[in-house]
């Protein structure tokens, strides 16, 4: 893709998982940079930019006017997938929000997914929530990417309605939901950096929880299990995820 609208690497990575000739919705589109970029690069693509807030909705309209993309990009004001008609789009992108908000948007909008072949999610935190939603709703996780931009680490998850693959193992499912089964297969430097930082954060959280007047021992146990997984994953770099 090449045009004069510059996208962050985070959004470029998300956009790279769209097929040519995509008909997609970008939910929580803010300035509509992503749909405009894709449609400038691919004249056969069409997009709906969904926004819940008036300010970003107006910014999205302005970007579309600037790039003269009214024929290709439609901006709609509304909550999540409610801006879509039934069976309208084939792909959905939801980027730059927390994993639990992405999960809520997908859950509330389930009835709009009947024709959606691919969902691309870029949760800023709690990617596990999104992976679990995909798994429980028969979207198969087919690609994962992790990247570092402006001192933030981002994950991009791609799930398809139809795929022969199953990225999870029965035995290690919970661990794979946390780290990402595909990211675990190739522990990149960014992946290791992310989990080193998460290990530090969680260690502090556990110490604070232990000092509470009534420590929540079952929650502490859960977090300790995650700490042990992080140590395993960071240690046995050359071995399989198990």
Using CB under 6 A, list all residues that contact ligand SAM. 11, 27-30, 50-53, 56, 79-80, 95-97, 105
Q: How many C-beta atoms surround the C-beta of residue 183 within 10 A?
A: 22
Nearer to ligand SAM, 50 or 181 (CB): 50
Q: How far is the CB of 28 from ligand SAM (least distance, A)?
A: 3
Under a CB-based contact definition with an 8 Å cutoff, are residues 64 and 75 in contact? yes
Nearer to ligand SAM, 11 or 116 (CB): 11
Nearer to ligand SAM, 11 or 206 (CB): 11
> Which strands form 152-160's sheet, in the order they lie side by side?
73-77, 46-51, 23-27, 91-97, 118-123, 152-160, 140-149
Nearer to ligand SAM, 129 or 184 (CB): 129
Q: How far is the CB of 222 from ligand SAM (least distance, A)?
A: 28
DSSP 155-169: EEEEEESS-S-----
Q: How far is the CB of 10 from ligand SAM (least distance, A)?
A: 7
Assigned token pair, 29:
């589109």
Burial class (CB in 10 A: 0-12, 13-18, 19+), 4: exposed
Residue 219 to residues 180, 195, 213, Cα–Cα distance (Å): 22, 20, 15
Q: How far is the CB of 47 from ligand SAM (least distance, A)?
A: 12
Assigned token pair, 191:
């992946």
Q: How far is the CB of 179 from ligand SAM (least distance, A)?
A: 22
Q: How many C-beta atoms surround the C-beta of residue 1 within 10 A?
A: 13
Q: How far is the CB of 79 from ligand SAM (least distance, A)?
A: 5
Assigned token pair, 86:
């039934």
Helix residue ranges per DSSP H, 50-165: 54-66, 99-108, 127-136
Nearer to ligand SAM, 94 or 206 (CB): 94
Nearer to ligand SAM, 86 or 211 (CB): 86
Nearer to ligand SAM, 148 or 174 (CB): 148
Q: How far is the CB of 90 from ligand SAM (least distance, A)?
A: 19
Assigned token pair, 60:
């999205």
């Amino acid at each position: 893709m090449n045009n004069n609208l510059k996208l962050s690497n985070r959004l470029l990575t998300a956009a790279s998982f769209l097929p040519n000739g995509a008909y997609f919705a970008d939910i929580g589109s803010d300035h509509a940079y992503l749909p405009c970029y894709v449609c400038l690069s691919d004249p056969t693509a069409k997009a709906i930019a969904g926004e819940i807030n008036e300010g970003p909705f107006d910014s999205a309209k302005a970007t579309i006017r600037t790039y003269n993309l009214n024929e290709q990009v439609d901006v709609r004001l509304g909550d999540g997938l409610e801006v879509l008609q039934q069976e309208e789009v084939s792909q959905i992108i939801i980027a730059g929000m927390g994993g639990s908000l992405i999960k809520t948007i997908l859950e509330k909008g389930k009835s709009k997914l009947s024709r959606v072949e691919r969902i691309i999610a870029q949760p800023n935190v709690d990617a596990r929530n999104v992976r679990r939603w995909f798994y429980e709703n028969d979207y198969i996780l087919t690609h994962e990417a992790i990247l570092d931009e402006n001192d933030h680490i981002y994950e991009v998850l791609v799930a398809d309605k139809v795929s022969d693959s199953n990225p999870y193992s029965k035995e290690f499912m919970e661990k794979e939901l946390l780290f990402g089964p595909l990211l675990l297969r190739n522990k990149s430097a960014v992946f290791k950096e992310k989990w080193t930082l998460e290990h530090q954060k969680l260690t502090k959280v556990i110490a604070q929880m232990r000092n509470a007047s009534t420590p929540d021992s079952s929650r502490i146990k859960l977090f300790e299990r995650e700490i042990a997984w992080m140590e395993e994953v960071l240690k046995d770099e050359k071995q399989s995820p198990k």
